[in-house]
Structure 1
Amino acid sequence: MANNENAAAAETRPDPEKDLNSWLPITASRKAKWWYSAFHNVTAMVGAGVLGLPFALSQLGWIPGVLTIVASWLITLYSLWQMVEMHEIVPGKRFDRYSELGEHVFGPKLGYWIVMPQQMMVQVASDIVYMVTGGKSLHKVFELIDPSVFEGARLTYFILIFLAIHLVLSQIPNFNSLKGVSFLAAIMSASYSTLACLTSIIKGNKHRPSSYGVRSHTTVGQFFDSLNGLGTIAFAFAGHSVALEIQATIPSTPEKPSKKPMWWGVLAAYAIVAWCYFSVAISGYWAFGQFVEDDILISLRKPAWLIALANFMVFIHVVGSYQVFAMPVFDLIESNMVKHLHCTPGRTLRIFSRTTYVAFTAFVGICIPFFGGLLGFFGGLVFSSTSYFIPCIMWLIVKKPKRWSFHWIASWISIIVGVVIAILAPIGGMRQIILSSKSYKMFS
């Protein structure tokens, strides 16, 4: 009798882990549709990276640059499919976070520390770059509207405006509540990519370069520039770091698993990504050649009203992108503060943790606002691992495909390409940052 009462009590006793998941931003709501996945993925991918693709072509050249973008698109689509499939690879269990899948594949302790630091570096690095991009885009809008007043204005001021917006938006409680912001951001990304493409074509028809070369005229410079170009392209495919978290917002049953609507969303997103990336990269390099800026919209100056509109669209888009990448960080910070510091889940915790994080990314962005170098450095350092080869390594361990089968070959190709980028690209990115820093004054 006593045993029955104890069993009944155990069944009715609240599960702390379940209660916490019902509050944390990733798992609080599971009501997303497949099209939510589409615009979340577009918002996550088509961000600051697309603006730097013409610059990457100017460092790599026509054929190597275009082939690298094509290869990256195919490899990352394949590795993203692997992640979607592995979300529910254990019947009855969902791996809602990248680190949870890592724990399952590599072991509880080792897996967490393999995946979590790299994922968080991707999230934080993206948000730092978006701080810089948002500030630069807003600065450009005002500069084009009234050059006499805003041409000499400090970039720092505009990054602080971007900071103020995110101090408010960061209080959005969970990922699914972000759908409106993310939807608007996805529309903006397709819109400014189209504007950048059309304006580049118009510009190129009037003053197209007579020949196309690479930026540097020395062998050493060309080598380091090509490394930075690889990192810039890798940065453009950063959505994998938040893919499982996006899938976690989709409902799932044994009859209707979440991988089906998630995959439809991924395919729709990658079609939009292909249009944005190839149109901007090819038209931008075609119009300006090796003289294109690290942000294509800086090269495009006329008509002023149209470029101002495009920059404002970029500003709106990176507002959404920042929040998409910040959600897993909020989730990690808040779960650790509750579990290890015994903080009470609630508004006070969210205000403190999220405000601190937003302020930190703004401070770093103000200190090192070197767009091109940041893309190359971070793109190679951690983006290549989370998007190119960690999913493939997990797939090989879990699925154990036969040697020389399609999935075995495809996984190993992705791993080799990703490792090469991870080793080489940060070198080029760091060099770009060092060169840019020579003419930079802090808080200017």
Structure 2
Amino acid sequence: MASPPAPRRDADADAGAAFVLESKGEWWHAGFHLTTAIVGPTILTLPYAFRGLGWGLGCLCLTAMGVVTFYSYSLMSQVLEQCEKEGRRHIRFRELAADVLGSGWMFYFVIFIQTAINTGIGIGAILLAGECLQIVYSNLSPNGSLKLYHFIAMVTVVMIVLSQLPTFHSLRHINLGSLFLSLGYTFLVVGACVNAGLSKNAPPRDYSLESSESARIFSAFTSISIIAAIFGNGILPEIQVNLNFCFIF
């Protein structure tokens, strides 16, 4: 495949953007960047989503949303490549939106939406990571003196350090480690569930939905909203721009 055009090097070019646009990644880097971007805290809510929809409808909705999401990724990837062929290589969603939809209010609208979502995700991820560390610490040292806010502060410092890395390519080793941890967690949970299900002391299985109709409706909509966002991520342009070849899903 043809290599993408080199970034502009004129005096008016953004030095930071020019550095980011130096593509160094390979296709397998995109694989674990995308996987770790999707596999997040939202995955932990899937059992609740299936609890509200049931096995049949839950699997159907999850499959349908996966097809829709990855088809959307494919379309966006093609748009990014087309813009690149025309000499406009984008590294952020807001730049892509301004190019496709116009550089007026849409640019600031996307910035507002992204800021709101990223703020919520950032706060939630820090709190969740702090709570997880506290659980591990409590099991290892039941009488320890560290409190939850200590672990939240630790996670915040780590996040600040990671945010200083210049490109997504700089995170490739960290994301690879995250991928292995995610796979390990998945296998452990599946194995534990199978073992619990086959155990003689297994709790009784109950796959029934809520008893009242209103509760079933609320649970169904909550479950659909969870599944709708389960495969989403906001870093597709950043992933694609770090590849040293044109990439189409």
TM-score exceeds 0.5: yes
In 2, Cα distance between the equivalents of 1:245 and 1:32?
A: 11
Residue in structure 1 matching 2:168, options 170, 175, 192: 175
CA contact (8 A) 1:40 1:246 kept: yes
In 2, Cα distance between the equivalents of 1:22 and 1:68?
A: 41
For the pair 1:138 / 2:133, whether they are aligned, the reply is yes
In 1, Cα distance between the equivalents of 2:162 and 2:98?
A: 31
For the pair 1:236 / 2:224, whether they are aligned, the reply is no
Which one scores higher on RCO, CA 8 angstroms, separation ≥ 6? 2
SS of match in other structure, 1:210: coil
Change (3 A) 1:167 1:202: same
Residue in structure 2 matching 1:119, options 95, 108, 114: 114
For the pair 1:188 / 2:176, whether they are aligned, the reply is no
Q: Which residue of 2 aligns with 1:17?
A: 13
Q: Deviations over 1:245-290 (max 9, x none)?
A: 11111124xxxxx224xx3xxxxxxxxxxxxxxxxxxxxxxxxxxx
Q: Which residue of 1 aligns with 2:51?
A: 58
Q: Which residue of 1 aligns with 2:61?
A: 68
Counterpart of 2:212, as a letter, is T
TM-score using structure 1 length: 0.49
Change (3 A) 1:149 1:221: farther
Q: Which residue of 1 aligns with 2:148?
A: 155
Q: Which residue of 2 aligns with 1:440?
A: none
Q: Deviations over 1:99-153 (max 9, x none)?
A: 122112211113313433223333333222211221222122223334x436x97
Gaps of 5+ in 2: 1-8
In 2, Cα distance between the equivalents of 1:155 and 1:230?
A: 32
Q: Which residue of 1 aligns with 2:214?
A: 220
CA contact (8 A) 2:69 2:232 kept: no
Change (3 A) 1:111 1:89: farther
CA contact (8 A) 1:28 1:174 kept: no
In 2, Cα distance between the equivalents of 1:100 and 1:169?
A: 23
CA contact (8 A) 1:135 1:162 kept: yes
C-alpha deviation, 1:225, in angstroms? 2.2
Q: Between Structure 1 and Structure 2, how many residues are aligned?
A: 237
TM-score using structure 2 length: 0.85
Q: Could you list the runs of 4 or more consecutive aligned residues of structure 1 that deviate by over 6 angstroms after TM superposition?
A: none
Counterpart of 1:113, as a letter, is Y
In 1, Cα distance between the equivalents of 2:139 and 2:217?
A: 35
Q: Deviations over 1:164-199 (max 9, x none)?
A: 222322222222111111111111111111111111
* Pairs within 5 Å for 1:236-275: 236-239=230-233, 241-252=234-245, 258-260=246-248, 263=249
* Pairs within 5 Å for 1:321-360: none
Q: Which residue of 1 aligns with 2:41?
A: 48
> Is the helix fraction higher in 1 or 2?
1
Gaps of 5+ in 1: 1-12, 253-257, 264-444
Aligned sequence identity (%) = 26
* Pairs within 5 Å for 1:267-416: none
In 2, Cα distance between the equivalents of 1:135 and 1:235?
A: 23
Residue in structure 2 matching 1:103, options 98, 107, 114: 98
Counterpart of 2:197, as a letter, is G
Counterpart of 1:194, as a letter, is F
Change (3 A) 1:153 1:60: farther
